[in-house]
Amino acid sequence: MITGELKAACRDYYYLLSQGYPERGSLKMVGDRYRLTRDQRSILYRGISSEPGSSVRKNRLINLHPNVHLIIDGYNVLFTILNYRLGRMVFISTDNILRDAGSLHGKLRDDTILQECIDDLFQTILPFDPIRIDLFLDSPVTSSHRHQQLIEQKIADFKFTGICSLVHSADKEIRSIRSGVLATSDTVLIDKTSVPVTDLARLVLKTMYRAAFIRIQEMLEC
């Protein structure tokens, strides 16, 4: 729910970042002032970056195009799709990347809808005929071994070349990659990677559900 208080909090938080104040301290100050919930604070933290940071990440973004080596930050992309499917808030951040409020907090109790999200993902990728898909999952996430098996089966079903790797830290593995196109909304990864980035979760939701999203930038301007 977008309230007047949340819009005011977004503007205050953006102002503090623009003045060079630290993110965590600014988030606590603004969150406490407006008595924001955990998810509302997450909207601020994940949805708003300084103008320079937003500009740099916008410039890394490309549209997905055919015949690329696609590297997918697995849970990052799938959980954004899943949160949308569960009716939770997703939004376009100030750096023009789709994010969610992180409502799952790394926990998933029902594989059924996740399987549907995996299918949505591969149905969307299929027309682009990627040269290869490398998808990374974080092993500490509950049921990650089973999720890896589900994804490996989908890779085989769709006759893609590629693999789903279960690793302790997907971020660490992805940071070492020097070629291909990266699908993620993770700010740190986007800032650190040397490869172009595509907003795959956004493409999936627009393709499969014709989804429309709230733009945080518009909340700052109203």
Cβ count near 62 (within 10 Å): 14
Give phi and psi for 70, each to the nearest 5. Answer: -100, 120
**Mean pLDDT calculated for residue range 14-33:** 95
* Segment 73-102, tens digit of pLDDT: 999 999 999 999 999 899 999 999 999 987
* Segment 203-222, tens digit of pLDDT: 999 999 999 999 999 999 86
3-state secondary structure of 87: coil
Query: What pLDDT is stored for residue 111 in this prediction?
Result: 79
Length of the chain: 222
pLDDT at residue 1 is higher than 80: no
Smallest Cα–Cα separation from 27: which of 8, 7, 42? 42
Which pTM does this prediction carry?
0.94
Q: Report d(CA 191, CA 193) in Å as an integer.
A: 6
* Segment 137-194, tens digit of pLDDT: 999 998 999 999 999 999 999 999 999 999 999 999 999 999 999 999 999 999 999 9
